[in-house]
Amino acid sequence: MRYIKDIEHTQLKISLFSWNSKYIVKIEAGPYEQTYKVAEFDVTGPEEVERMISDAFVASVLARFQQMDADWTAAMESYL
Q: Quick one: residue 40, left, alpha or beta (phi over 0 = left, psi -120 to 50 = alpha)?
A: alpha
pLDDT at 71: 97
pLDDT at 13: 98
Torsion, Cα 58 60 61 67, to 10 degrees, reads 150
pLDDT at 80: 77
Local confidence pLDDT in tens for the 80 residues of the chain: 999 999 999 999 999 999 999 999 999 999 999 999 999 999 999 999 999 999 999 999 999 999 999 999 999 999 87
DSSP-based three-state secondary structure for 61: helix
Predicted TM-score (pTM) of this structure: 0.92
Domain ranges of the chain: 2-79
